[in-house]
Homo-oligomer: A and B are copies of this chain.
Amino acid sequence: MNWAPVIERYENELTQNVIPFWREHCVDREFGGYFTMLDRDGSVYDTTKYMWMQWRVVYMFAELSRGRFGEGHPEYLQLAKDGFEFLYRHGRTEDGSYYFALNRKGVPAAAPHSIFSDCFAAMGAAALFAAAGEERYREEARSAMHSYIRRLDNPKGKWNKLLPGTPTRLNLGSYMILANLGSVMKECLGSDEFDAETDRAVRTVMRMFHHPELKVIFENVNPDGSFDLESCEGRFVNPGHGLESMWFVLQYAERIGDEALIRQAAGFIDELFRFGTDPRYGGIFYFMDALGRPHLELQHDMKLWWPHNEAAIASLYAFKLTGEERFLNHFRTVDEWMWSHFPDPEYGEWFGYLDRRGEANNLLKGGKWKGFFHLPRCLVKCADLMRAISR
């Protein structure tokens, strides 16, 4: 396969389309932090500052400032630093966790009920340390990591609404993110501090969440590793989440040189592509039920940008590490589908939310859950992987 034009397509999209869109529209020069609720044309339709989205912008500009993508590295670094100052000043609670949202001026607007706020703070601060080398960024990354790990046993804390009548579950998200966080910390901070946690998270994901007969990764399992096929929660499958977690595992397995783990994760990626692909209109479903029973979320059959971004990374990663043709085919399929459906030819960037048929039903470029993260990360990682493959 001739990779050069594909690499060029991914890099150009990043440098000539996605970065310029966010650089132009997302910076709040009056109050600090970022606007992430951006309409199709980049105009701001809400000024709430959601912590996941804010820290992801810090992370992405810091990462880009370290890289080789176009001009403006000092500018990216400054954008990341400015965001950090706003979030460090306003976003932190007394115990070092992070509020879920601030208003435009930085007044806390939603309680610190999500440990993923801490997760993305850790990623953002770590990337900033790697880019700028200032000790306070490393300290904040370590502090946020410790907050994340401390909260893992009871992620929602006092905002947990569940009572004893709801079974306790292990949730894929908490573990798969830790597998990636560990890699980010290793790479950005260069320390062994989180190696044991990372290994434990990776092993937990691989040992407990994969259903061997149904051949798919579950979102929620019983603490003893059994599966609950009687409830909606127990049968919940999120193929994009599974694919994302599997490239986190491949990343880890590659680093430690674990061939068996590579083979296992690659196998799960193949299964997830088979399970999650819509046979009627193509693309990857958002949410599914492991047994095909009704899904309670109305948007279950929609096609979102990020599962496709993660699927592209996962398939390329598996192809790079195994050389097996089936992963190249998966990449070709998802590459074709996402590039022909998500990019907005008129105003740039990508649509995030398509109906099952592939038609955009919401034209926003940024929202409560879509920001400057999955798409640029996909473009960077895929370009890197393709370059490695073509060597």
Contact = CB atoms under 8 A, between A and B. Distances in A.
B298 A353 contact: yes
A350 to B, nearest CB: 14
Q: Range of interface residues on chain A?
A: 35 or more
Interface stretch (A44-52, A171-179, A332-340): A44-52
Contacts of A231: 46-48
**A interface: dominant SS:** loop
A165 B109 contact: yes
Q: How many protomers of this protein does the assembly include? A: 2
B46 A165 contact: no
Nearest to A293: B45
A355 B353 contact: no
B46 A232 contact: yes
Interface string A95-125: 0000111110111111101000000000000
Contacts of A12: none
Interface of A: 37, 39-40, 45-48, 99-103, 105-111, 113, 158-159, 161-166, 230-232, 293-296, 298-302, 353, 355-356, 361-364, 367-368
Contacts of A47: 230-231
Contacts of A302: 298
Contacts of A102: 165
Given A110-B166, A356-B361, A299 B298 contact: yes
